[in-house]
Structure 1
Amino acid sequence: MAFETMECSMLPTYFLSHGGGPWPWMKQEFGGAYDVLDASLRDIPRQAGGKPAAVLVVTAHWETPEFGLSAGAQPGMIYDYGGFPPHTYQIRYGAPGSPALAARAQALLREAGIAAGLDAERGFDHGTFSAMYPVFPEADVPIVQLSLKRGLDPLEHLEAGRALRPLRDEGVLIVGSGLSYHNLRAFNGAGAAASHQFDDWLRKAMALPPKERGIALMNWEHAPAARAAHPREEHLLPLMVALGAAEEEAAAVVYHEDAFMGALAVSSFRFG
């Protein structure tokens, strides 16, 4: 069955800082550490004007030689974390997949000269299910995951976002799921200074005119504390896809904390 275009206004795109591990299922253990993030995620349907037809999640937790799209109708679960309580390895987030959306996204990428494959076996990783559960707790919105392309070239991911832009007119919400700060070896007070320096630069870059913003983000490695904040940039690259799909549109901060996990600065953004 072909993916059908819906009559709707163009949806925004998002870059979400998705938090750590299976946090939505550990609120008691974390106390109120995730309350602000949780509230920001729950507000997305209101911002987007209701439930979308489907969601395309660009996940920081999946890398392939070329772009990959999860194409199963009923994706399983991937518990890609360690050291959490036993019950977090029994989580089920039962949102359906959408083989039709996967095929549509693949076609758009290929039309732009971008190689992309389909993976009918890929399950939901925690970059997807931990971010999407607060947004759609009933698990009633189809979700397709887009991988990162190995090499992590920011321009290639920006160009993928450009190719996928038509999905926004078809009822598809494009979400980049990563973290604006991701240095697990300093995910505490030791990373505070770097996280604040990089987050301050990132929020200022988002407020620039579109062309200047794009140049700044393509050259993110030159930002203050860039490599201290992202020793490896896989959690930043989903931002480039979300940006590419809304390149000429304004950005807004939809989530920000100065003391996430006690000390870190983190943010999420909406385009459009």
Structure 2
Amino acid sequence: MKMPTLFVPHGGGPCFFMDPDGGPPDPMWRPMQDYLAGLIASLAERPRAILLISGHWEENLVTVHTGNGQPLLYDYYGFPEHTYRLRWDAPGAPDVALRAKSLVEAAGFAVGQESERGWDHGVFVPMKVAVPDADIPLAQMSLRKDLDPADHIAIGRALAPLRDEGVLIVGSGMSFHNLRARGPQVTAIADEWDRALTDAVTDPDPARRADRVTAWDMLPHAHFSHPREEHLLPLMIALGAGGDSPAAVDYRGEVLGWIVSGYRFG
């Protein structure tokens, strides 16, 4: 069974785990949490492993992580003390990481490798919701620091064979990510951006779709929605790995006044 590829919103910091007693999150975050909680059940087949690309890891070269991600990297600030003791103890997937490295190198890209970095919150926060038993092995791959959209789409294309090998490719970011712009005054702007992005991502023509998403910064309110585009680039890899299939909108909701979408390819 060929796996789809996903671009999912990973929330804000440890937003789903703010209650020290394990209670539900702020109601604002609950629809996103429910979406993430249903991801694995929504697949036709349970993946044997996950390859995740997070908006919180950049290197000069695309880099694969061959370790198990422990201890976690709590790369958020100013949250309650208990959120720095969260656990997500899934095994690593070094075989998937090395297979991804080989595929991307075969496409002409230099690829780094490391095993010491912990999984950042773009990994463990959404995955703790999606895979609460931590029983699916996971490998992480970095973005490249230049954030070149066309190259990241090409890197995604190179990874596509993993979909036939039981690997779920997940881009973890946010479709809108302007931390200084919050509240209802932002919603109309975020909505216009989101509709334009969704129209580009769901374009039925594969070449035109890639061109339109590569030129994301020409869409309305692009640089307002992403003053820096690291949280959008995981979408490029998911799109590339999705092949000829246009995206379906998997999630659309509002948090912090932002309209936020998640997409599924294939």
**TM-score after normalising by structure 2:** 0.94
Q: Is the CA contact 1:69–1:146 (under 8 Å) kept in the aligned structure 2?
A: yes
Alignment correspondent of 1:194: 189
Alignment correspondent of 1:267: 261
Partners of 2:250 and 2:36 lie apart in 1 by 9
Report the Cα offset of residue 217 of structure 1. 0.2
The C-alpha deviation readout for 1:63-99, integer Å capped at 9, x for no partner, is 0000011111453200110010000011111011111
Which moves more between the two structures, 33-42 or 237-246?
33-42
Alignment correspondent of 1:25: 17
Q: Is the CA contact 1:25–1:88 (under 8 Å) kept in the aligned structure 2?
A: yes
Partners of 1:207 and 1:178 lie apart in 2 by 18
Identity %: 44
Report the Cα offset of residue 37 of structure 1. 0.8
The count of corresponding residues between Structure 1 and Structure 2 is: 262
Matched, 1:10 2:2: yes
The C-alpha deviation readout for 1:142-168, integer Å capped at 9, x for no partner, is 111110101100011001101100000
Which moves more between the two structures, 144-153 or 34-43?
34-43
Report the Cα offset of residue 194 of structure 1. 2.6
Alignment correspondent of 1:51: 46
Alignment correspondent of 1:231: 227
Q: Counterpart of 1:268 in 2: which secondary structure?
A: strand
RMSD over aligned Cα atoms: 1.4
Q: What is the 5 A alignment of 1:1-272?
A: 9-26=1-18, 30-73=25-68, 75-209=70-204, 210-257=206-253, 259-261=254-256, 263-272=257-266
Report the Cα offset of residue 29 of structure 1. 8.0
Q: Counterpart of 1:256 in 2: which secondary structure?
A: strand
Q: Counterpart of 1:205 in 2: which secondary structure?
A: helix
Report the Cα offset of residue 25 of structure 1. 1.1
Which moves more between the two structures, 13-22 or 185-194?
185-194
Report the Cα offset of residue 190 of structure 1. 4.5
Structure 1, gaps ≥5 residues long: 1-8
Report the Cα offset of residue 205 of structure 1. 1.5
Partners of 1:149 and 1:206 lie apart in 2 by 21
Which moves more between the two structures, 93-102 or 219-228?
93-102
Partners of 2:78 and 2:195 lie apart in 1 by 31
Q: Counterpart of 1:186 in 2: which secondary structure?
A: coil
Structure 2, gaps ≥5 residues long: none
Residue type of the alignment partner of 2:143: L
Residue type of the alignment partner of 1:246: G
Partners of 2:143 and 2:174 lie apart in 1 by 14
Residue type of the alignment partner of 2:15: W
The C-alpha deviation readout for 1:206-254, integer Å capped at 9, x for no partner, is 2212222111101000000000000000000000000000130131111
Partners of 1:197 and 1:61 lie apart in 2 by 26
Partners of 1:53 and 1:29 lie apart in 2 by 29
Runs of 4+ in structure 1 over 4 Å off: 27-30
